[in-house]
Structure 1
Amino acid sequence: MDMQFTSREDIEAPIDEVFAEITDFTRFERGAMRRGAEVARSDAQVEPGVGMGWQVRFKLRGRMRDVALRLSEYDPPNGIVIEAEASTVEAVLQVDLVALSRARTRLNVDLSVTPRNLAGRLLVQSMKLAKGKLGKRFRLRVAEYAMDVEERHKRSA
């Protein structure tokens, strides 16, 4: 009974640059902190790779939420997989990159959310009721991210 979100965007930038963007974990950490989340690394790795982890704490719907994130696949320049665990749900975020040409990359993003207990089942059930709206918002966020990556590429070119 899991919930699936998918999105695909084409980015006017070489695959190596797009991979560097999707693995700029420091930028993601800063962005989350700017939006009020507490982010702490849960590993001691210096180089990016499998095993990197984060403890993230943020407020959602009036309650504090704790999520453990772990980088479970790191395959330059093809993509990454991040696993997330919270008390009620677990999620897998898979980001795949495909070189369409030397200067164009397809970004495929797949998010799967699975309940861990009754509270998680209720959450996933309510997400399914709002699937159209949530899916649209997910695709919009991925599209905005792709545009940001493209803009940064144009400025650095």
Structure 2
Amino acid sequence: MEIGLNKYVKLGLVILLSVGSILFTQEMKLLKNPESTPVTSMTIIGLLILWLFSMLGILVSDLAKKSRIKVIQDFPVLGWVSIASLVFCLVSDFFINAISAVDFLSITTPILTYAGISVADRLMDLRKISWKVAIVAVLVFIGTYLGSALLSQLGLFITGN
């Protein structure tokens, strides 16, 4: 039991570090742009709620791995986190109000940083795959950019701007 508890403590601390970096990012954004989302007590509560949803998702994922149903065993942790947050946000508007006090861009900046570090850690593996992956990546980036630009233009056209 201690090994399992130790795992949750480590994961909880890592997620707490992530929440701290989100708070730091929101503070830095506030210094640069004073009109952006201020850091209030509701922001701290929102970050703690996000931490709680993450921990609940991890716990449910571990419990689901003991299930006999393969689909439930293989369901990703991110899916369980999303379901936990969806259920709680449907139950009470308090969760929505608390999370909305956290600036969205302050959340995405650390996440993209962690994703970049994760990919950079596996550059040797990417080298072994093939140079064709680079071509596919460039085409995906171009397609995503063009798709976003077309949707934005359509939105502007519909609204008359």
TM-score (norm 1): 0.31
Which has the higher Rg, Structure 1 or Structure 2? 2
TM-score (norm 2): 0.31
Higher strand proportion (structure 1 or 2): 1
Higher helix proportion (structure 1 or 2): 2
